[in-house]
A = this chain, B = another copy of it.
Amino acid sequence: MSDTTEKPASPARIEFETAPERYRHWRIAVNGPVAELILDVDENATLLPGYQLKLNSYDLGVDIELADAVQRLRFEHPSVKVVVLRSGKDRVFCAGANIRMLAGASHAHKVNFCKFTNETRFAMEDASEGSGQRYLCAIQGTAAGGGYELALACDEIILADDGNSSVSLPELPLLAVLPGTGGLTRVTDKRKVRRDRADVLCTLEEGLKGKRAADWRVVDKVVPRSRMEAAVAEAAARLADQSDRPADAQGITLTPLERTREGHIVAYSSLRVEIDPPSRRATLTMLGPDDAPPEDAAAMQQQGARFWPLRLSRELDDALLDLRTNARDIGTLVFKSAGDPARVLAYDAFLEANRTHWLAREILHQWKRVLKRIDLTSRSLVALIEPGSSFAGTLAEIVLACDRSFMLIGTEKGDNRAAAIMALSPLNLGAYPMSNGLTRLETRFLGEPESVDAARATIGSALDAASCEEAGLVTIAYDTIDYADEVRIFLEERASFSADGLTGLEANLRFAGPETMETKVFGRLTAWQNWIFQRPNAIGPDGALKRYGSGVKADFDPERV
């Protein structure tokens, strides 16, 4: 199989942390309530060797900066109400994902790359829906493939009418793959383009421009180049008027993560990750807060990035991305916790009490996104709820995100810590919807809504292992005689299964109930794209990705499957 043997050169470790002063491809220019986010790719600053980022095309490195910029605009610039996304180059907006990068990348890299870029596009939409920071896309030049998909993630798209500017999704005709960064789904479900017109768009290499682009709703407006700046300013002012972001708030700085890496241990301030390659497991232990929550919102703002919930969420997010990308043979993530569950609940109460404050709101949305990132991580997820743990409220949500959860009844001899408990907080009831639009409790109890009510009635109470099992909050509780063996057997068995089979299984079982544009992108669209990324017509030696730019047309097997 070409796929598993072909693992091209890649840097020792892909880092997801960055900061504007290190950006090579993006610029942020804040001007009162409007910020410009400018894509100006340095074609030589690639993440992997073997390609150049011509025509504002992107690789994972460019997208890591984008994700960082979207995040910082929310936390560091609370008064920004509208982000205008545009190109720093004259005749091109963005040529999408770099084709030579895709052609040279392993299957796993392609899949990971697509997942991260999709998460980032949804983060843009979340900024708009969740906290009123709207995105406006101004296209001068060509927006092709992923370039147009970037625009699709914005609230509005204005296209210059100059004979050159266009939007296109040429993936199928050029490369035999799909517009997989949400393109297909957003065209039909967000912009609600008629399906036969969407079919035309997706098979037309040169795409659409001018009046037809607006008539078909693939953009919101076309304006002559001379009117472009005025039209963008007008739309930005209108979108800013709709925003509820505070006019005068001070942002906080997302300071560098506290992180040390020693061998297989990554230590953050509130999170410890132990990677164990022989067993193909990583254990993530989250530490509860050391102190009580701050007095008030001003004190929270004063703490800034050190505020425990924000700090832990950023550390957890970084750890997940690191494991996904840099530890691909690790098949199971084991979540543990330590600390005082009452304190975790106190922080939850604090956030709940201050949820209209811009910063508390941002932190709740940030946790929502990190929890979604857990849901979408293609690793087996298991929670171990043991003495001394702090799985309460927001941290209990991680237990609910897991494929399995084991809870120890009582304590081992000689263990002075209190027996494990779990506790729910009001935040478990709606602050953190999954991508299917339901809470994890609602998804879990789809067949017995009365169990959601029963769980609600326990809010704030410490539930011991028997109560948690009875309430259905954990998979199973074992006493000290059986616990260690049962957990060990489970983990060993899990490691013996096919990695791909588990990925498909978990991607299905985790998302019961309704589907949304988000689940459609990560379920339907992504699954089909991953299939295509395995097919010779795309990736074989005579396939379109390999032959692209060679002057020789791809040689397709016509068989329909």
- Judged by a CB distance under 8 angstroms, whether A520 is at the interface is yes
Q: Which B residues are in CB contact (< 8 Å) with A560?
A: 108, 328-331, 378-379, 499, 502-503
Instruction: Find chain B residues with CB under 8 A from A172 CB.
Output: 497-498, 501-502, 505
Q: For residue A538, which residues in chain B have a CB less than 8 angstroms away from its CB?
A: 498, 500-501
Determine if B515 and A195 form an interchain contact, defined as CB atoms under 8 angstroms apart. Answer: no
Is A339 positioned at the interface, with any CB of B under 8 Å from its CB? no
Contact between chains at B561 and A194 (CB < 8 Å): no
A83: chain B residues at CB < 8 Å are none
The copy count of this chain in the complex is 2
Cβ of A192 and Cβ of B446 under 8 Å apart?
yes
Contact present for B497 and A203 (CB under 8 Å)? yes
Which residues of B have CB within 8 Å of A112? Answer: 561
Q: Is A19 an interface residue (CB 8 A)?
A: no
Q: Which of A54-62, A92-100, A525-533 contacts B (4 or more CB under 8 A)?
A: A525-533
Question: At the interface with chain B, which of A29-37, A183-191, A287-295, A414-422?
Answer: A183-191
- Contact A188 B475, beta carbon cutoff 8 Å: no
User: Which residue of the partner chain, among B107, B448, B508, B537, contacts A528 with CB atoms under 8 Å?
Assistant: B508
One digit per residue, 1 when the CB lies within 8 angstroms of any chain B CB and 0 when it does not, for chain A 1-43 equals 1111000000000000000000000000000000000000000
Known: A475-B197, A498-B544, A537-B500. A329 touches B188 (CB 8 A): no
Assess whether A500 is in contact with B535, with CB atoms less than 8 Å apart: yes
**Quick one: closest B residue to A553, CB to CB?**
B496
CB-CB under 8 A from A187, the residues of chain B are 509
On whether the beta carbons of A509 and B331 are closer than 8 Å, the reply is no
A224 contacts chain B at the CB level, 8 A cutoff: no
Chain A contact residue count (CB 8 A cutoff): 99
In the complex, 30 of the A-B residue pairs with CB atoms within 8 angstroms, ordered by the A residue number, are A1-B2, A4-B536, A108-B560, A108-B561, A172-B505, A176-B498, A184-B505, A188-B446, A189-B512, A191-B447, A194-B472, A195-B512, A198-B509, A200-B475, A202-B505, A203-B493, A498-B535, A498-B537, A498-B543, A498-B554, A500-B561, A503-B561, A504-B528, A507-B524, A514-B514, A515-B524, A519-B524, A527-B528, A527-B530, A531-B531
User: Which residues of A are at the interface with B, using a C-beta cutoff of 8 A?
Assistant: 1-4, 107-108, 111-112, 171-173, 176-178, 184-185, 187-189, 191-200, 202-203, 217, 280, 328-331, 378-379, 402-405, 443-448, 472, 475, 493-495, 497-515, 519-520, 523-525, 527-532, 534-538, 540, 543-544, 554, 556-561
